[in-house]
């Protein structure tokens, strides 16, 4: 690929061969809202449009990763070249601007310089300024042409007007008044500093592009599959549904699927954020982009291409990068009006001085040019997109995926949050927390008898009992005879010639087992919201095993963090009130909705909205989808839940509830930067335009030369771009 890459010379990049069944559209790296069906130049800035490959309703990560990176939406390679080109333009302008400034009236008069002049100064300045205006600054002139052709007024029109006004006025002075002061430095500085602002914006955008490139690279270029009873290597992009994929230690998982053979530990940290490798066996799900650690496994491909979790993650981040925050839409509308204000200010200044004050033509033009130059609010166009780019990039880095700029901004407005219990605040699976023995039996005997009965069951409670038995080394399990499963009650079998019962209290009572001697213990465990399995041996109560859905380590810290942010916290669950209250008490949540059917969760969210609250819903599964959709901000917690990714506005990939607090803090910090940027983008206009137009010249002697006007305008753009980058300083505070 040719390394030379200029915005108006990207013709070698424009021709992207579309893949079969894939539509190629084109977008601008600086104005992603610009979408075209064919290559060309951006009507807003004149940059060459880059290809964005899109299959309706799909997004094939494999294709984009290994066959045509240049067709990726964020296009990391192109983004890098664009940034390099903008950087090159800036440095050339900057180096040429140094002698221009030193030879300018400001340099000579202010710094008292007496530099050698091989040719007349004005002609030297003309030679040095011309390449800045018509080469490094050509993107603004080209952008103005396309904007006016489309009958739109935007930042390019405003910048080009200021640059050309200062440049052409100086050329006129050079020809008609060879020895007079000119304003070449104003045109040069305006281009230079606007280019610097654009460079900073592209740099902040590319930070996220680089992160996405890392996600692209998680997909291996090739994978091993079973075809015609033979193991063959094929490109990952060619894997189809139901293909059997072979993974050996060290292999990356190419697509999502279900393990059909073998066991292993798989590192999912790069996809989910979970640092500990996850043990996988037959029936477990594997996620594309994760890394196989130990054993050899085979899995059936269930989601390929655009269906994979990784592809959806990348699509989500890209959408966020290319979306507009509400504040940005206001800024875009304001830009068109400011073009009129700028030109109107210049015209008013000229008419006022030439006809009103009776000043000479060149004096009137000087004030007019100054007013036009300083009215260029290029920083307004940078104010929100730079903050959004940095904010969403920080979120993605911390496994907090924000779907769009509006969500990033609106999350700061939350004043109420509804938390699902199971899987969100709790682990979502039972764990044995108490074992009590009665009538001469030991705890190990209770566990061993229960585990022997449950050995063949896939019930979550059975698994928890077996895991606890293994953990306490209450082995070996006993052989069982005459096994019976009693629907809704429990299990019955013969162990060592003794009839053994395990299950609900009713099962024991129906078989004549007296449990009243353990009533106090049983009632206490029930009041704590625990699930009980009672054990009886030969008609006597042997013991009870209590299990509970354990609270996540960071759940309490999450609730405390939300309260510190002034957000009302609610918990919603389908569990009965006793369990809900026990969890709520431990976490410090007073407002609890218990016994709620999955379909009714949205009603509770709606009720809070009707009370005037701006509500977020946090859930982890299909049953939470209606509530996630109903909420002002839907936050899906947990990786791999397709419906969560589709329904939630924010996806927390690590399944860590404290990321809720981090997401809100990130939103608040980003909004602060947006407001700061909008202030810096506008304040100088409000204060400086009247001065530049000469309103206070006669009364106070205040005036602004065009070059000083350009410097102030450009300083505003630099402040905005730099301030957005400073958002990264919030990272250490996200999880504090």
**Residues known to be catalytic:** 420
CA separation for the pair 72, 277 (Å, rounded)? 30
Q: What is the DSSP string of 509-578?
A: HHTT---GGGHHHHHHHHHTT-EEEEEEETTEEEEEEEEEEEEPTTHHHHHHHHHHTT-EEEEE-SS-HH
Contact 253, 267 (CB under 8 A): no
Place of tokens 């981040």: 317
* Residue 418 parent element (H or E): strand 416-420
* Residue 294 parent element (H or E): none
Contact 362, 173 (CB under 8 A): yes
Structure tokens at 135: 């080469």
To 10 degrees, what angle do helices 121-131 and 155-176 make? 160
Contact 162, 191 (CB under 8 A): no
CA separation for the pair 39, 716 (Å, rounded)? 33
Question: What secondary structure, in 3-state letters, does 125-186 show?
Answer: HHHHHHHHHHHHCHHHHHHHHHHHHCCCCCHHHHHHHHHHHHHHHHHHHHHHCCCCCCCHHH
| Beta carbons within 8 Å of 449's beta carbon, 6+ residues apart | 478, 495, 500, 502, 535, 537, 542
CA separation for the pair 323, 317 (Å, rounded)? 10
CA separation for the pair 233, 250 (Å, rounded)? 16
Structure tokens at 683: 């304040």
CA separation for the pair 332, 311 (Å, rounded)? 31
608-622 residues labelled b (16+ CB within 10 A) or e (exposed): beeeebbbbbbbbbe
Q: What is the DSSP string of 656-722?
A: -THHHHHHHHHHHHHHHHHHHHHHHHHHHHHHHHHHHTTTTHHHH-----HHHHHHHHHHHHHHHHH
| Greatest Cα pair distance in the chain | 119
Listed in sequence order, the DSSP H helices in 324-429 are 326-351, 361-374, 378-397, 405-410
What SS3 class is residue 472?
coil
* 696 to 232, 346, 350, 689: CA distances (angstroms): 81, 15, 15, 11
Ordered strands of the 278-280 beta sheet: 278-280, 264-267, 291-292
Ordered strands of the 650-652 beta sheet: 400-402, 650-652, 633-637, 615-619, 416-420, 568-572, 591-593
Q: What is the DSSP string of 257-268?
A: EEEEE--EEEE-
CB count within 10 Å of CB 426 equals: 23
Alpha carbon distance, N-terminus to C-terminus of the chain? 45
Q: Which of 277, 293, 304, 285 is nearest to 219 (CA)?
A: 304
CA separation for the pair 640, 628 (Å, rounded)? 16
């Amino acid at each position: 690929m040719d390394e030379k890459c200029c915005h108006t010379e990207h013709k070698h990049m424009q021709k992207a061969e579309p893949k079969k069944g894939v539509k190629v559209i084109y977008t601008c790296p600086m104005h992603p809202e610009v979408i075209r069906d064919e290559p060309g130049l951006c009507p807003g800035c004149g940059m060459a449009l880059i290809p964005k490959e899109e299959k309706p309703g799909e997004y094939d990560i494999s294709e984009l990763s290994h066959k045509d990176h240049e067709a990726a939406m964020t296009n990391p390679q192109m983004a890098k070249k664009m940034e390099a080109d903008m950087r090159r333009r800036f440095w050339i302008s900057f180096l040429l601007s140094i002698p221009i400034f030193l030879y300018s009236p400001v340099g000579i008069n202010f710094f008292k310089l007496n530099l050698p002049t091989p040719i007349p100064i004005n002609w030297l300045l003309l030679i040095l300024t011309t390449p800045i205006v018509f080469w490094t600054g050509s993107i603004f002139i080209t952008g103005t042409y396309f904007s006016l052709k489309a009958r739109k007024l935007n930042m390019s029109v405003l910048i080009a007007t200021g640059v050309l006004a200062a440049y052409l006025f100086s050329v006129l002075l050079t020809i008609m008044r060879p020895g007079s002061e000119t304003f070449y430095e104003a045109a040069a500085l305006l281009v230079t500093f606007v280019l610097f602002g654009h460079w900073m914006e592209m740099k902040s955008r590319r930070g996220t592009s680089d992160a996405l490139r890392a996600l692209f690279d998680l997909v291996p270029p090739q994978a091993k599959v079973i075809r015609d009873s033979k193991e063959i290597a094929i490109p990952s992009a060619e894997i189809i549904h139901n293909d059997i994929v072979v993974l050996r230690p060290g292999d990356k998982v190419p697509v999502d699927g279900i393990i059909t053979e073998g066991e292993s530990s798989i590192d999912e940290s790069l996809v989910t954020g979970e640092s500990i490798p996850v043990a996988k066996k037959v029936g477990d799900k594997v996620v594309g982009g994760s890394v196989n650690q130990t054993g050899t496994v085979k899995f059936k491909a269930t989601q390929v291409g655009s269906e994979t979790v990784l592809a959806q993650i990348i699509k989500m981040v890209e959408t966020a990068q290319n979306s507009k925050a509400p504040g940005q839409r206001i800024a875009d509308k304001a830009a068109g009006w400011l073009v009129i204000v700028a030109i109107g200010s210049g015209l008013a200044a000229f008419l006022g001085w030439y006809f009103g004050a009776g000043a000479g033509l060149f004096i009137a033009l000087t004030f007019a040019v100054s007013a036009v130059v300083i009215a260029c609010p290029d920083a307004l166009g940078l104010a929100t997109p730079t903050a959004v780019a940095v904010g969403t990039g920080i979120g993605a880095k911390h496994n907090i995926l924000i779907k769009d700029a509006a969500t990033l901004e609106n999350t700061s407005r939350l004043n109420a949050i509804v938390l699902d219990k199971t899987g969100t605040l709790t682990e979502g699976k039972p764990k044995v927390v108490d074992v009590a023995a009665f009538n001469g039996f030991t705890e190990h005997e209770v566990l061993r008898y229960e585990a022997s009965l449950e050995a063949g069951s896939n019930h979550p409670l059975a698994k928890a009992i077996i895991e606890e038995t293994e953990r306490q080394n209450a082995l070996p399990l006993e052989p069982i005879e005459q096994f019976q499963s009693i629907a809704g009650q429990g299990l019955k079998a013969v162990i060592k010639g003794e009839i053994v019962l395990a299950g609900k209290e009713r099962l024991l009572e129906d078989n004549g087992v007296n449990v009243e001697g353990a009533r106090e213990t049983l009632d206490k465990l029930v009041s704590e919201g625990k699930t009980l399995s009672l054990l009886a041996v030969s008609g006597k109560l042997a013991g009870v095993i209590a299990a509970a859905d354990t609270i996540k380590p960071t759940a309490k810290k999450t609730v405390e963090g939300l309260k510190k942010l002034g957000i009302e916290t609610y918990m919603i669950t389908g569990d009965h009130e006793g369990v809900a209250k026990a969890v709520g008490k431990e976490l410090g949540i007073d407002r609890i909705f218990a016994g709620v059917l999955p379909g009714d969760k949205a009603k509770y969210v709606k009720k809070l909205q009707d009370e005037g609250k701006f509500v977020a819903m946090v859930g982890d599964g299909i049953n939470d989808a209606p509530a996630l959709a109903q909420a002002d901000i839907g936050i899906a917690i947990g990786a791999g839940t397709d419906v969560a990714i589709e329904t939630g506005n924010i996806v927390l990939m690590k399944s860590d509830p404290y990321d809720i607090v981090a997401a809100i803090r990130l939103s608040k910090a980003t909004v602060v930067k947006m407001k700061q940027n909008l202030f810096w983008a506008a304040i100088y206009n409000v204060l400086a335009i009247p001065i530049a137009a000469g309103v206070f010249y006669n009364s106070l002697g205040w005036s602004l030369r065009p070059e000083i006007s350009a410097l102030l305008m450009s300083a505003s753009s630099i402040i905005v771009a730099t301030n957005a980058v400073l958002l990264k300083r919030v990272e250490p505070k996200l999880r504090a």
